[in-house]
Structure 1
Amino acid sequence: MARLSRREFLQWTTGGLAAAALSDWIFFKKALEAQSEEGPKLFYHACHICDCTCGMIYQVKNGRIVEMRGNPADKLGAAGKLCVKGYSTPRLYHDPCRLSHPLRRTNPRKGRDEDPAWKIITWDEAFALVGEQFRRVYDRHGPDAILLFARARPWDSHLQYAIGTPNQLCHVDTCYINHEIAGKAVSGDRIWGWDFSHAKYIVGFGYDQVGKSKNIHQREFMEARRNGAKIVIFDPRLSETAQKADLWIPIRPGTDLAALLAMIHVILNEGLYDKDFVEKYTVGLDKLKPHVAKYTPQWAQKICDVPAQTLVQIAREFGSTKPATLAYHKRDAGGPVFMNSFQTAHAMVILQALVGSLDRPGGLYFSRTPKVPSIKDVYKLSYPDIEGKPRFDDPENITPLAFKAKKAGFSTAADAILNDSKPRVALFHSYNTTSFSNPQRFEQALKKLNFIVNVDMYLTELGMYADVILPENLWIENSGFTVRSYQAERPQVLLDEGAPKLRDTKSYGEIVNGILAAMKLYDYAVDPKKLTGAQLAAMGLDKDKLRQAGGVFDSGEPFKPTEQFKTPSGKVELYSTVLEKAGHAPMPEWVEPASKPTPEYPYYIVTHHLPWMRMLKNANDPILKDLQCENKAHIHPSVATKLGVKDKDFVWLESPVGRIKLKVAVTEGIRPDTIMTEHGFGIWAKGRCQGFGWGQNEGEILPDRTLAEMKQWKRHAAGRGVGICDTTVRITKA
């Protein structure tokens, strides 16, 4: 095929949209014209904009989604309603900026100012090129020379295991890794359900899932509020969730751990813990009680800037009110926000157990999911053995639990690549440079890789560094089923009926099979259609049964609290032998965060995710963009007065790694020593024509980590969390 001309790039410069959107309008128009006039058809699907996977029903007429609503049969998820993000699906589906064809880079130079000079190629050409490059590295330098940046989902894991590389890197060490590792180490499983509606007392530390419009959290939380539960939120800023609480406590950033340790101290010292639960279902109380003796409320007051009497009052109420529960999930104080956040997450699980609401009604609980045979089981495959093979980014096995969970790698990815001597190639599945803190350093690392494959729906910032881009279906174009993991109070399976494809894209399963076949790993190139039928049959289901049930199989099983926990002792381990064996602190310990304010950088920085945004996944939605088209620097009035600025004036935010320019938003709802800005802006690649050029990427002032830093944090950072806000900034008038 001929190379594209500048004119065909629709006059977008610097290699932006170029072939990514070139001919999309033509392809899109032809796809619609090919549809005959017909009545609307009804389809079922789980929404995959976020992990809530709420059931939805949609209608298609003449190739267009004309209506979408929540599926009332999904009692555990949407319950007949969708959030604003879910309702953006039709606009994502019909977005003309989505990629239509595989693309090959023809300009070898890479950088923000370089035009990749894309050339449209066929799928056969794309697979042949990827297979050739991957196979060459595979043969010359070994399978571990292939880096896979992807979540540990079935097809991603199949690709990893078939190739035989230990080097799978996942973003979850910037998301919820601490909560998962702490939950598994202490109680044997990930805590992924929230029964707020039956709770009488709720405490959150940086918890703002209500403000992020997480459908499940929002509904449960508001039901608890209507039922009269007392709600206490510790947060440096007055978040949307804090606004709906009975008590907002503006705690100093990075010190939530001290408050939690003080609460544990009071509850144990005053005998307020659930003695029946602790005696029957936990071990290690004899070690925990003397361990927290020094963590008094008076000690904590000096650290977290919360009066000792307030901490005592909340601890007493929390310990004596049944049922009481913590509210936590993802990027709250226990998420990978500070380098001491794993200790915070660890303390949260212990406190939940002490009040007897771990996997109990009115508390937090484990997911109840049906057993689904894996790709390996269905096709009776034998993978290469990668057990014990050293990772390129953790050669000394500093954080074994994080990598065993297949949920880490982003925090140190740039450092590992930049200091690596082996030639490597990489595949990125639905990840962008904006997924990384300090992306400017990561972009330098990308230039060192020999060959990059990007699987995505758009031409993104990461795509601008890719050698080949493989366009993936939007999730609603994929068929199959979804097993509920969020809020899985009982086993539930949702039917996924794919909408008509509008472009020359493929499902990720098809892409994985194409790559494996091109690498001549033919035994692992399997038929995805056989997989779905076999997995459904193993659960006693098929698509017809799911459709007859309204798109949702709900087991209806009553909730049975766990009696035997999946730990070495079979009980909740207040002194974790799992953490101890891995070389981490077996009980939560106070440790300072990595950064404190200095004369040069005197302010803390925190971030927020807007309720209508799913990071940058729906950033090209013109309606959602108009709700707030740029992020801002939210500051206290005293800071505004000191700087001599007012609302909408520009300021510079600068940290040790970078700086960004934002407009000011002055608010009383934030600590004077703290600045907040929103995530989900700063698109510089022009492949998302609606989202391009709005706001700034706050990741450019947030830190990544080095392998040496992780080694120093071995005892206290079992989750390998990046400590995404563990830095300080200065603010100056622009």
Structure 2
Amino acid sequence: MATETRRTNCHYCGYCCAFLATVEDGRVTDLVPDTTRYPYDERILAGCRRWRMNLDALDGDDRVNYPLRRVGARGGNQWERVSWDEALDDIAARLGALAEEHGPETLASAIGGPHASYWPLHRFMNLFGSPNNMGIGQICWNPRIWMDALTFGWTVEADIVPGVTDCLFIWGTNPAESDNSAFWRSLIQFSKTEAALVVIDPRRTRIAALADVWLPIRPGTDCTLALGLLHVIIGEDLVDRAFVDSWCHGFDELAEHVLPYTPDFVAQACGLAAEDIVRAARLFGQARAAALVSGRGVDQVGASVAPTHRAICSLRAVTGNVDKPGTCVLAEGADFVSEMELEMTDALAPEQRARCLNTHLTPLQCYDGYERVRTLTEKLGRTLPARYLTSAHPDLVLHAMETGEPYPVRALIVNATNPLLTYADTHRVFEAFMGLDLLVVLEYYMTPTASIADYVLPIAAAVERPILQVHGGVANIGYGGPAAVDPYYERRCDYEVFRELGKRLGQGDAWPESTLAEAFAMQLARAGLDWDLFCELGIYCQQPAFAKHELPGLDGRPQGFATTTGKIELASEFLPLLGGPRLPEPAVPVTLCSEGLRAQAEQEGGSWLPMITGSRKQPYNASMYFNNPAFRAKSPYPVVEVSEATAVRLGLAAGDRVEIATDNGSARFILGTAPMRDDLVNVDYGWWHPEWEPGSPDFGGMWESNVNCLTSCAPGEPMIGTWSYNAIDCVLRKVNEPLSWENV
């Protein structure tokens, strides 16, 4: 028996932690943390329960191991095993025929992470000629990236340095649950220092419990709070005048704009204490170095998302907390081949870019908007990834599936994501997908989305595929490592699937590397790094320079910022070109409950309340890992949380069965209580039952406790199209009927 120790990496979160695999005759028999590679600390793995899945999942009974083709009715859970050649030949033929009939834009795609590389699918779509990469970037990552780029000329990242960073804001993110790794451990240590920690979150999360100031904000009022903080900082002259005078554009406009946002006004709007707002503002403004980290709680507030991020950018700028140690640092452009180049964005013909569904709805999140921003960022040699920032709005893709307008979308490729649970308005998504001519799903498991596919293709997972995580393509960092073994059974790396599919559709010259590892080697070669050496190191990272705006440009003068004015734009000169505002302005939260629904709920003893969704709960992540028996034993059922005071007011108790509803639909949960602001509902996200029979009629239980049966993907924010997963309303009432899983 041949036994080896090989380097590899976990794929169960974005850290992709390093491991050493014991391999016997091509099978992994053991895994242990590799402390010689990123993230270097075995204590991080000691607090993580996901990584232990790597071994069991390789031979899990529920894994999809062979290409499957649907027989019988869609969703009927009847499949036949076919060869890869048979599957890819048929898929390519059907895609070609649909493109011939309707144009290549008839194909849409959807992708998830962190266990997939985005660019192979994006390259395939560009070469096929479709602009319709349907994404959820509008509610995750895109808003911050767009507003950072328009304000600073590139993205910024928090540079939290103990002993240097005097104040840290954590805004709308819960690292103990969403991260639970190196960043969370660093925050625990930070909280023990003399530096100030301010947490803005309606829930008293574990990081909020460590804070010097906790601001339990009313969901959807984040922009108002940010403008109120600016009011105090500017009014009390806590501004870095030298930095503002030299490097900020529009300060006087911003100062006048925030005058109405007094602490008393903001306290009333946000449901906070005025003295806490003032204290938080002073901590940030008086710090020698302050950093701010925001998350999905900000990204998912609908129409207010872009103005909130712009106001946050202004907080950093007016206090001079930009591109200096311990603050928020402009990321470096990549030394290696960029995501945009790997995507082959420029291969998408102009006439196909013009078919982008977003163009007339979201003038920033489209190809026209992207190209305008690209001309700015390329002044300093940086290019944002294109396909994610031009991804088609789900509402528009679904409309094209439903109506054929402005053209029919008849095919969809889904890679490592589960839209029937993770996309808003599940009923609508289901009906649209059921009517497709071709639905192809690349997956590990028979998810609800996979159960209605025409083809389910088995994809290599952690330790079966190499990984190179590059932080979304906006920084000069990459980490990861090699596969420990070849994929088990007939699983394939998704890169190889798209390469083979592309070759069948005339894209052969665009896929010169036969494997993903070869493609990664090509990507790193530009930085002068050999793939084998990278696999030994586990990371490529160059220390950022500070005050890059002061470095000399080609003309010898300071290069400044890659914006229209060359300065940080507190008042935007760019957004008005697209019909947007010069200054951040709060928007009204969306309403999904009609007066009739509210009246009916009241008659039935229910209440009308604001709701937030999408809160992370370890060890789950979105709709993932519910098939792990140990996880389910710890968190066995879907929960709706309220504060103890709210439960008492509503006449409810922990353990009660409750129904929440909007005009879109309803779902049922078990009531729990948690420390959070009163009169607010926090709903578990992504719940289903993988242990149930796939397909019709229950589809893994997705109709019963899936909060996206209530949500809507109707565009909210006008520049990007962000819809609302937070700051939406619902009605809640007690029900007595057992949930179906209680009888199983």
Q: Normalized against structure 2, the TM-score is what? A: 0.84
What is residue 387 of structure 2 aligned with on the other side?
406
> Once the two structures are superposed, what CA deviation does each residue of 1:346-399 show, in whole Å capped at 9, x if it has no partner?
211111222222333222334335432369979999834147733463251533
Q: In the alignment, residue 106 of structure 2 is paired with which amino acid?
A: A
What is residue 579 of structure 1 aligned with on the other side?
575
1:281-292 matches, cutoff 5 A? 281-292=247-258
What is residue 419 of structure 1 aligned with on the other side?
403
What is residue 705 of structure 1 aligned with on the other side?
713
What is residue 3 of structure 1 aligned with on the other side?
none
Q: 1:687 to 1:97 in 2, by over 3 A?
A: farther
Distance 1:381 1:235 in 2: 38
What is residue 365 of structure 1 aligned with on the other side?
329
Q: In the alignment, residue 52 of structure 1 is paired with which amino acid?
A: Y
Q: 1:699 to 1:717 in 2, by over 3 A?
A: farther
Q: 1:634 to 1:482 in 2, by over 3 A?
A: closer
What is residue 544 of structure 1 aligned with on the other side?
532
Distance 2:457 2:730 in 1: 38
What is residue 645 of structure 1 aligned with on the other side?
652
Shift of 1:700: 2.9
1:512-531 matches, cutoff 5 A? 512-529=498-515, 530-531=518-519
What is residue 105 of structure 1 aligned with on the other side?
70
Distance 1:157 1:379 in 2: 5
Q: Is the 8 A contact 1:199 1:229 kept in 2?
A: yes
> Once the two structures are superposed, what CA deviation does each residue of 1:688-729 show, in whole Å capped at 9, x if it has no partner?
89x9659954433442233xxx3xx5xx54232121124211
Q: Does 1:617 align with 2:627?
A: no
What is residue 56 of structure 2 aligned with on the other side?
91
Q: In the alignment, residue 720 of structure 1 is paired with which amino acid?
A: G
Distance 1:244 1:147 in 2: 44
> Once the two structures are superposed, what CA deviation does each residue of 1:117-143 show, in whole Å capped at 9, x if it has no partner?
111111011001101110001112111
Could you say what secondary structure the match of 2:566 adopts? coil
Q: Is the 8 A contact 2:11 2:461 kept in 1?
A: no
What is residue 415 of structure 2 aligned with on the other side?
429
**Which residue of 107, 116, 132 maps to 2:93?**
132
1:719-730 matches, cutoff 5 A? 719-730=720-731
Q: Does 1:674 align with 2:674?
A: no
Range 428-437 or range 123-132, more displaced: 428-437
What is residue 139 of structure 2 aligned with on the other side?
174
What is residue 634 of structure 1 aligned with on the other side?
641
Q: In the alignment, residue 325 of structure 1 is paired with which amino acid?
A: A
Q: Is the 8 A contact 1:451 1:467 kept in 2?
A: yes
Task: Calculate percent identity across the aligned residue pairs.
Answer: 20
> Once the two structures are superposed, what CA deviation does each residue of 1:304-327 show, in whole Å capped at 9, x if it has no partner?
121323222221222112212222
Structure 2, unpaired ranges of 5+: 371-385, 550-559, 600-606, 736-744
**Which residue of 18, 31, 50 maps to 2:13?**
50
Q: In the alignment, residue 392 of structure 2 is paired with which amino acid?
A: G
Q: Is the 8 A contact 2:7 2:481 kept in 1?
A: no
- The CA RMSD measured in Å over matched residues stands at 3.1
Q: Does 1:442 align with 2:429?
A: yes
What is residue 373 of structure 2 aligned with on the other side?
none
> Once the two structures are superposed, what CA deviation does each residue of 1:502-526 show, in whole Å capped at 9, x if it has no partner?
2201111110122122334443354
Distance 1:394 1:379 in 2: 19
Structure 1, unpaired ranges of 5+: 1-36
What is residue 383 of structure 2 aligned with on the other side?
none
Distance 1:168 1:602 in 2: 36
Shift of 1:453: 0.9
Could you say what secondary structure the match of 1:431 adopts? coil
Q: 1:636 to 1:535 in 2, by over 3 A?
A: closer
Shift of 1:446: 0.8
What is residue 589 of structure 2 aligned with on the other side?
593
Shift of 1:551: 3.5
What is residue 346 of structure 1 aligned with on the other side?
310
Q: 1:41 to 1:695 in 2, by over 3 A?
A: farther
**Which residue of 255, 260, 265 maps to 1:299?**
265
Distance 1:451 1:138 in 2: 12
Distance 1:462 1:60 in 2: 33
What is residue 733 of structure 1 aligned with on the other side?
734
> Once the two structures are superposed, what CA deviation does each residue of 1:404-430 show, in whole Å capped at 9, x if it has no partner?
343343542434432334442111111
Q: 1:289 to 1:374 in 2, by over 3 A?
A: closer
Distance 1:282 1:305 in 2: 31
Q: Is the 8 A contact 1:70 1:80 kept in 2?
A: no
Q: In the alignment, residue 291 of structure 2 is paired with which amino acid?
A: T
Aligned residue pairs total: 679
Q: Is the 8 A contact 2:122 2:343 kept in 1?
A: no
Range 716-725 or range 375-384, more displaced: 375-384
Q: 1:399 to 1:321 in 2, by over 3 A?
A: same
Q: Is the 8 A contact 1:232 1:247 kept in 2?
A: yes
What is residue 482 of structure 2 aligned with on the other side?
496
Q: In the alignment, residue 443 of structure 2 is paired with which amino acid?
A: D
Q: 1:679 to 1:382 in 2, by over 3 A?
A: closer
Q: Is the 8 A contact 1:70 1:79 kept in 2?
A: no
Could you say what secondary structure the match of 1:545 adopts? helix
Distance 1:388 1:187 in 2: 30
Shift of 1:444: 0.9
**Which residue of 665, 674, 677 maps to 1:658?**
665
> Once the two structures are superposed, what CA deviation does each residue of 1:212-246 show, in whole Å capped at 9, x if it has no partner?
23423213312211222222222222122211212
Shift of 1:75: 5.4
Could you say what secondary structure the match of 1:528 adopts? coil
Distance 1:456 1:101 in 2: 11
Q: Is the 8 A contact 2:176 2:207 kept in 1?
A: yes
Distance 1:521 1:206 in 2: 43
What is residue 59 of structure 1 aligned with on the other side?
22
Q: Is the 8 A contact 1:209 1:241 kept in 2?
A: yes
Q: 1:589 to 1:476 in 2, by over 3 A?
A: same
Shift of 1:686: 4.3
Q: In the alignment, residue 677 of structure 1 is paired with which amino acid?
A: V
**Which residue of 186, 189, 197 maps to 1:231?**
197
